[in-house]
Amino acid sequence: MATLQKTTRKCPVCETVFAVQAVDSCGSHGCDSDLRPHYWGPDPLEYFVHSCLECGFSGYADNFNDGASEVVIRKIRKFLTPRTRDLTRAQAPFFRYEFMALIYEWEDRDSLEVADSFLRASWVARSRNNREKERLYQREAVRRFEEALEIGECSEQEQRAVVSYLVGDLHRRLNRRRRAETWFHRAREEQEMLGSDRPDRLSWLGDQIRRQLEAPSDLMD
Ligand SMILES: [Zn+2]
């Protein structure tokens, strides 16, 4: 079961110190078809990322320790500080993930990392029943996952297979059926390329791709 603990964060941009609830421990059982874990007990997803309400800086605990460059600080001040009211809306914790994704982009991080942040933003939007934001973040995520595959960011065959599947499932969720099928077939090819010496490797993925092609579901068994 997920447990939270009270702690503090110090903003690397404006040096404000503030109290947060952070995830102490958590476990999960199964997931949605886009790999969103089902956690035991209260959902901790909203408590992994925190935001400074003064300037808008957002990130995981490590991001607060790592700080930010002058160039990124200028962009935070220009684009996020005017939007800090979004962060105070109790029903909209997904903005924290959105702000983090934007900061990652300004930091020139890998497309995979930016994509992952938008994907998580879409998970939070879904749990808050905000379909419009969920779709917006899914579009942002899928574009960057495709880019990551195109420019060779996924060096492991296993990762290429999983990311290709995820691209397929995000297109499916966005009602882009043709593109979803194309990507599911690509994911299957990537999975099959894992080699006959490891037939069990990612067999769950093969099963999942087949299911999404034949009788799609938003849940993964
Ligand atoms: Zn700040």
Tens digits of residue pLDDT in 185-220: 999 999 988 876 666 778 899 999 999 999 999 999
| Residues 122 and 158 occupy one common structural domain | no
pLDDT at 2: 87
User: How far is ligand 1, taken at its centre, from the CA of residue 16, in Å?
Assistant: 6
pLDDT mean over 158-173? 97
| Residues 96 and 171 occupy one common structural domain | no
Share the mean pLDDT of the chain.
95
Q: How confident is the model at residue 1 (pLDDT cuts 50, 70, 90)?
A: confident
pLDDT at 200: 72
| Residues 180 and 123 occupy one common structural domain | no
| Residues 42 and 76 occupy one common structural domain | yes
What letter would DSSP give residue 45?
G
| Residues 118 and 74 occupy one common structural domain | yes
CA distance 45 to 35: 13
Flag whether pLDDT at 70 surpasses 80. Answer: yes
Instruction: Name the nearest CA neighbour of 87 among 56, 43, 120, 119.
Output: 56
φ, ψ for residue 40, nearest 5 deg:
-75, 135
pLDDT mean over 141-168? 96
CA distance 82 to 143: 26
User: How far is ligand 1, taken at its centre, from the CA of residue 89, in Å?
Assistant: 17
Domain assignment present for residue 38? The answer is yes
**Which amino acid is residue 195, in one-letter code?**
G
| Residues 71 and 171 occupy one common structural domain | no
User: How far is ligand 1, taken at its centre, from the CA of residue 158, in Å?
Assistant: 38
User: How far is ligand 1, taken at its centre, from the CA of residue 32, in Å?
Assistant: 34
User: Count of domains in the chain?
Assistant: 2
Tens of pLDDT, residue by residue over 108-117, are 999 999 999 9
| Residues 122 and 40 occupy one common structural domain | yes
* Residue for token pair 């999404």: 212
| Residues 14 and 93 occupy one common structural domain | yes
**Alpha helix ranges (H) inside the chain:** 61-66, 70-75, 84-87, 94-106, 111-127, 131-150, 157-173, 177-192, 203-214
User: How far is ligand 1, taken at its centre, from the CA of residue 74, in Å?
Assistant: 12
* Residue for token pair 């220009």: 78
pTM of the full predicted structure? 0.96
User: How far is ligand 1, taken at its centre, from the CA of residue 190, in Å?
Assistant: 43
User: How far is ligand 1, taken at its centre, from the CA of residue 5, in Å?
Assistant: 21
Flag whether pLDDT at 69 surpasses 70. Answer: yes
Q: Please give the residue range of the domain that contains residue 72.
A: 1-128
pLDDT at 199: 63
CA distance 126 to 94: 9
Domain assignment present for residue 136? The answer is no
| Residues 19 and 57 occupy one common structural domain | yes
User: How far is ligand 1, taken at its centre, from the CA of residue 66, in Å?
Assistant: 14
| Residues 36 and 104 occupy one common structural domain | yes
User: How far is ligand 1, taken at its centre, from the CA of residue 26, in Å?
Assistant: 28
pLDDT at 198: 67
User: How far is ligand 1, taken at its centre, from the CA of residue 24, in Å?
Assistant: 23
User: How far is ligand 1, taken at its centre, from the CA of residue 81, in Å?
Assistant: 9
User: How far is ligand 1, taken at its centre, from the CA of residue 11, in Å?
Assistant: 5
Domain assignment present for residue 108? The answer is yes
User: How far is ligand 1, taken at its centre, from the CA of residue 213, in Å?
Assistant: 46
| Residues 109 and 10 occupy one common structural domain | yes
User: How far is ligand 1, taken at its centre, from the CA of residue 91, in Å?
Assistant: 21
